[in-house]
Amino acid sequence: MTPQHEALNPSTRTYAVFKWLSVAGAAVFGLGLMIAPQRALSSLLLVSVGLLGMGLGAALFIAFQYVCGAHWAVAIRRVPEAMCGIIPWAAIGILFTLIVGKSLYPWTANHPTGMKGIILNYPLVLIRAVVFLSVWLVLIRAIVRKSRLQDTTGDASLSVSNTRLSAMFLVAFGLTFWMASFDWVMSLEPEWYSTMYGVYHFAGLFLGALAAMTILAVWLQKTGPLRDVLTAEHLHDMGKMLFGFSTFWMYIWFSEYMLIWYADFPEETGHFIRRHTAGWGPLFIANMVVTWLLPFFILLPKRVKRDPSMLVKVSAMILFGRWLDLYLLIYPASVGHESVTFGVIELGMAVAAPGLFMLVFIRSFRASAPVPLADPLLEASLNHHQ
């Protein structure tokens, strides 16, 4: 059974909204760079890391499915595939921040000694960024390209070679991502370190990507391309993933917090003290409430996990939590922890990021059939049962 698929044709008004959000974001960033460069660059880092997380999380989702030989999400795989399109844009943002926003990183002026000095070495950090981003991009593009190629050739062996590429990507990601999160975000506070940091960033990015995927899949079902494809069974699984990874995020958050709280070393506790004093406290608590506490209790019943409108609401809340989480990681370190800084620059860029993301997503999604037509597992996925 292959249902008839409508192409994704968002109304010109929807499209215009995304376009204007992106343009407004770029304008806010340009003005911000002149008035308050520290804030503009911190915001750029925030949205770049956030958007990169959407793309990488989507790629991880695809890779997990291939490696496990899972069939349930094959019918909605074009959603994460199109999400990967944002990675080059996010990569530009990150490289821009590292080069133009060099002053965000205290270690570039005050060079550390010893092992830390070897790792936090400016040319080396730039080289690492280019290498990491290129490796991810090359592998992810190859996976997406082969998946789309299968639509026309119908060659089942493309699934096998994508499984191999997925395994390679997972290993490459595991070896590089923690270091990237150290280089780009943790080193904003070079005196502080945590070995849990990379895992924490992974937990956040995967949860955020799942939430975005859920919203996009429901939107595509409502607007046409995934009508008769996305069922309550798929949503139920997405709901379980959201529930699981929301809890995983909290688990990792607490694992980091508790060890630092228990050991009580001044150079370690500073990170948390800066994030729950001087007005940051309510945000510090809100982060846990919207990313875990509320999603946990809301997603407990089976009924909610199968209800598209509830899932979209919970996902939107998690995405807000994702922004708040990155805001709390970056701003107290790079802009200042003495007071909470939030204004037009932060708001403008926070709402522009989804606009840009949607423009790229729509273009990328329209570049192929809305479902992987010739994937050997498509039939099983369309008839997926709990």
Partner 1 sequence: MSNANQRFLMGVFEREEDVLAATNEARLRGLEIADVYTPYAIHGLDAAMGLRPSRLPWVCFALGLAGASFKVWFEFWTSASDWAINVGGKPWNSLPAFVPVTFEVMVLFAAVSTVAAFLVGRGLLPGKRPKLASPGVTDNQFALVIEETNAAFDIDEVSEMLREFGVTHIEERVD
Label each residue of 173-194 as H, E or C: HHHHHHHHHHHHCHHHCCCCCC
302 lies in the site for partner 1, by CB under 8 A: yes
Q: What are the tokens at 149? A: 């190629």
284 lies in the site for partner 1, by CB under 8 A: no
Q: What are the tokens at 89? A: 């844009």
265 lies in the site for partner 1, by CB under 8 A: no
386 lies in the site for partner 1, by CB under 8 A: yes
Choose, by CB under 8 A, the member of 15, 64, 257, 320 that binds partner 1.
257
Nearer to partner 1, 203 or 374 (CB): 203
From the list 363, 324, 358, the residue with the least C-alpha distance to 50 is 324
Choose, by CB under 8 A, the member of 64, 248, 254, 296 that binds partner 1.
254
Say which DSSP state 290 is in. I
Q: Which x/- pattern over 196-235 shows residues binding partner 1 (rule: CB under 8 A)?
A: ----------------------------------------
Minimum Å gap between C-beta 262 and partner 1 is 7
String of DSSP letters for 277-336? STT-HHHHHHHHIIIIIHHHHHTSSHHHHT-HHHHHHHHHHHHHHHHHHHHHHHHHHHT-
Minimum Å gap between C-beta 193 and partner 1 is 20
φ, ψ at 306 (rounded to 5°) = -105, 5
Of residues 148-207, which lie at the interface with partner 1 (CB under 8 A)?
none
Size of the site for partner 1 (CB under 8 A): 10
Nearer to partner 1, 228 or 233 (CB): 233
Among 38-46, 132-140, 220-228, 261-269, the segment contacting partner 1 (CB under 8 A): 261-269
Nearer to partner 1, 12 or 264 (CB): 264
Nearer to partner 1, 64 or 257 (CB): 257
Measured between alpha carbons, how far apart are the two ends of the chain, in Å?
A: 19
Nearer to partner 1, 109 or 264 (CB): 264
Q: Quick one: CA dihedral 98, 99, 103, 105, positive or negative?
A: positive
266 lies in the site for partner 1, by CB under 8 A: no
Q: Are 380 and 71 in contact (CB under 8 A)?
A: yes
296 lies in the site for partner 1, by CB under 8 A: no
Q: Are 349 and 22 in contact (CB under 8 A)?
A: no
Residue with tokens 């989702």: 61
258 lies in the site for partner 1, by CB under 8 A: yes
Nearer to partner 1, 141 or 384 (CB): 384
Q: Which residues contact 386 (CB under 8 A, 6 or more apart)?
A: 233, 236, 237
Among 88-96, 153-161, 251-259, 322-330, the segment contacting partner 1 (CB under 8 A): 251-259
Choose, by CB under 8 A, the member of 7, 130, 138, 300 that binds partner 1.
300
Among 15-23, 258-266, 281-289, 359-367, the segment contacting partner 1 (CB under 8 A): 258-266
13 lies in the site for partner 1, by CB under 8 A: no
From the list 237, 216, 196, the residue with the least C-alpha distance to 381 is 237
String of DSSP letters for 58-118? HHHHHHHHHHHT--TTGGGTHHHHHHGGGHHHHHHHHHHHHHHTGGG-GGGTS---HHHHH
261 lies in the site for partner 1, by CB under 8 A: yes
Q: Which residues contact 205 (CB under 8 A, 6 or more apart)?
A: 52, 53, 54, 56, 57
385 lies in the site for partner 1, by CB under 8 A: yes
Among 145-153, 254-262, 287-295, 364-372, the segment contacting partner 1 (CB under 8 A): 254-262
Nearer to partner 1, 134 or 386 (CB): 386
285 lies in the site for partner 1, by CB under 8 A: no
CA neighbours within 13 Å on the CB side: how many for 280? 24
List residues binding partner 1 (CB under 8 A). 254, 257-258, 261-262, 264, 300, 302, 385-386
